[in-house]
Amino acid sequence: MKIKCIWEHNGDDSLIYAENCVGAFTRGSTPDSALGKMPEEIRSYFAWLGEAVPEEIDTDIVQEKTSDLEIKDADSDVIFDGEREPLTIEEYTELKGLALKSAEDFLSLYESIPDKNVSCMPVRRTFYGQVPRTAEEMYMHTKNVNSYYFGEIGVDADNEGSILKCRKRGFELLESTPGFLNNLLQEGSYGEMWSVRKVLRRFIWHDRIHAKAMWRMARKTFEKAGIENIFHFE
């Protein structure tokens, strides 16, 4: 399988996104180190989908974005060339299904952790403040981008209820917007460009970032507990 990769970097650190596996990504101090992690990420991604894992995985960088952001902390503003294209209802339905599955599985991972306010991880700060350490902090941070992401495309969503419930309501509001499948580009906060396609990808990508962190934290903090490996991370 050929993975079409988008490379976002600031000269020192790289984020590599798999365009044809929506939400899959790797990070590294160099593009080669990030690309080297991609086969494992794709295997995890297909296992999460419940689909056969490709026997061969090759990568091809099809787009590059130079950034001034803190890439090492997963700060990103790239919009894929393909995220500028209109959506068919079939594409939208498939991508929405992935975004809702991701929310549901993130919630299940969170609920499987025995103590949501305990963590062995050290305190660390980034451009946006202290990195979430506990399952509770990771869950609330991940859930609460709901209003932000939908707001960037003009949808007045909220963060009430579970991550799954508020995301579902956001999609319902989006679908009540005439012409939403036209996928019009919109300039959001800080001059960043957004589209419906980008929001769908960002939800899955952001979930994966914090699901990986939650899984690793939980495995270190609760070594003997049966934490659900829903996303098939190693």
Q: How many domains does the chain have?
A: 2
Together in a domain, 114 and 163:
yes
pLDDT at residue 103 is higher than 70: yes
Instruction: Please measure the distance between the N-terminal and C-terminal CA atoms of the chain and give it in whole angstroms.
Output: 21
- Evaluate if residue 137 carries a pLDDT over 90: yes
Final residue of a domain: which of 26, 52, 76?
76
Structural domain boundaries enclosing 140 = 82-221
Q: What is the CATH number of the domain that holds 105?
A: 1.20.120
Do 69 and 86 belong to one domain?
Answer: no
Give whole-number Cα distances, 47 to 7, 57, 103, 212, in Å: 24, 14, 16, 14
Contact 102, 208 (CB under 8 A): yes
Q: Which helix (H) or strand (E) holds 42?
A: helix 38-49
| pLDDT tier at 226, thresholds 50, 70, 90 | confident
CATH number (domain holding residue 46)? 3.30.160
Task: For residues 108 and 69, state if they share a domain.
Answer: no
pLDDT at 60: 97
